[in-house]
Every structure is written in structure tokens, then in C-alpha cells.
Amino acid sequence: MSRVFEGAGIALITPFREDGSVNYEKLKELLEDQIANKTDAIIICGTTGEPSTLTIEEHLDVIEATVKHVNKRIPVIAGSGSNCTQTAVYLSTEAEKRGADGLLVVSPYYNKATQKGLIKHFSTVAASVKIPIILYNIPGRTGVTIQPETISYLVRNVENIVGVKEASGDMSAIAKMFHLCQDIDIAVYSGNDDQIIPIMSLGGVGVISVLSHVAPRQTHEMCRAMLDGDVKKAAKMQLDALDVINNLFTEVNPIPVKAAMNMQGKDVGGLRLPLTYMEEEHQKALEKSMREYGIL
């Protein structure tokens, strides 16, 4: 099964109104802005979209609204993971029914499954749908690492598991995963904006990005340069963005990126508890880095 996209996909925030409800009109605005600025795919209801505080109904409604508005202009990948396998199956099958082009399925959090349990979990989810699945390896959030051998096994043995979003930050493990997968087609996306070019240099095909919220065209062009073989240009773009990237992660995502978007006048609202507004000192540092990068 072919990969869902190459380049810069955005892990889109969920905009909220003052009363905390989902702002669907703002969501449409954000989607139009991303498409106009050459973003290569929309990832909806991933970590950055705060799915842990959306109800199941909201989660599926946001996916459906996104799919309808994008209307096949670029791929839409729906976050459909859970620490309960049956819930992940339900979200995945419902996202497929609503027209998602692919799924992003995070490793089960809190339970801390064994590698055998992860294989069974992901295989069960994949068997419930026909669309492509991207594994999501983010041990800092989940408490469990999808080991390189497990990723290799799943991509080899489960037809619709086509790749992985790598947010472990462990370049040695990522290199080992590429080594184990040299003979197969695997779509690897950086899950950390400061590692886009390092991961692509090993064979990655893009990023699932937070930076794209505030610098969509730059993130797309960075990936495009690397895919086209212009390593020097791509590396410079990576390094030029580093201060902004670092300041987008001084507090837990998506606290800083929502603050950054509001600084840009995008009026995306706040966050749902237990997340809360960014500390003033961090906001000032973020604003300074955005001005220096030319996006404010």
C-alpha cells in the first residue's frame, strides 16, 4: 500500500470559542490558510488537536468537518489512537467511514504494553480498516517506546501499516529502524520540528509538524528542498527556524503554538483544562523569536 503523503503535514490544532466549544468556522479558515501555503497534508485530532479532551462525538465531528472542507485537495489523516484497543478500532472505522485518507495511530498510553502487546494492538486496529495507517511513536507522552524491531515487523507484515511518525527524539533508535527497513518501502515522518532534516537525511519523507501552524510555506519548502536533493538549502532552513521551534516547545504542546497563532492574529482561542495559558516569560521569548524569523 502506498504512502499517504510526502513533505510537510500539519498536526492541526482544534480552535475553540470563548465558551470552550469547537469553533468550526475558524477550523475552515485554518484549513484554507494551510492549503494556500502549500501544506502537503492535514493531520487532524493528533496530539496538537487536544483529542484527549474532546468527546468521542466531537472527535469524529472534527474529523468529518475537516474531510468535507478539504474535499480531497490534499490528504486528511485522522488521529484515531487510544489506550483501549476497541476504542481505537471504533475511532478508526468511524474515521474511515467519514472519508479520512489515512490514520495516525499512537501507541497505547498509560497501560505500557509490551512489544508483543503493541504488535497485537496495531494489527487489530489495522485489520478493522482498509486505509493506510501511520504508527505514532512518542514515548514522552505514552510511557512506551515502539522499538525499531517492532516497527520493522509491523510494516513488513501488516499491509496497510505504511510508516511511522517518529517523535522519540532518539536518533540512534531511528537510525536502527532505518537500518532494519532498508529493503522495504516505509514512510518515516519526523515528529519533532528540530529533527526534520536529520530524519530525512536517513530516508524520511517529511514531517508531521507544529511549526507549520505559524510558518507553513517555510516548512513545506524545507521538506521540498530536501526531497529535491538540495541538502544545503534544507539544512539552512532547518537551522534558521531553530529558535522558533525551541520556543514552540518551552511548555507542553499545544500551549505555545496556540499562543503563537493568536500573536499572528489568527484568533484560535484557548485550551481545554488541564492545559492552560502560556507563562508570560515564555510568551515574550516566543514573540521575540517569531519577529526575528520574520513571521510576526
Q: Which of 26, 38, 153, 165 is catalytic?
A: 165
Is residue 136 annotated as a catalytic residue, yes or no? Answer: yes
Cell numbers found for residue 142: 505514552
Q: For residues 94 and 296, what is the distance between their CA atoms, to the nearest angstrom? A: 39
Choosing from 26, 38, 136, 258, which is the catalytic residue?
136
Query: Catalytic residue positions?
Result: 136, 165
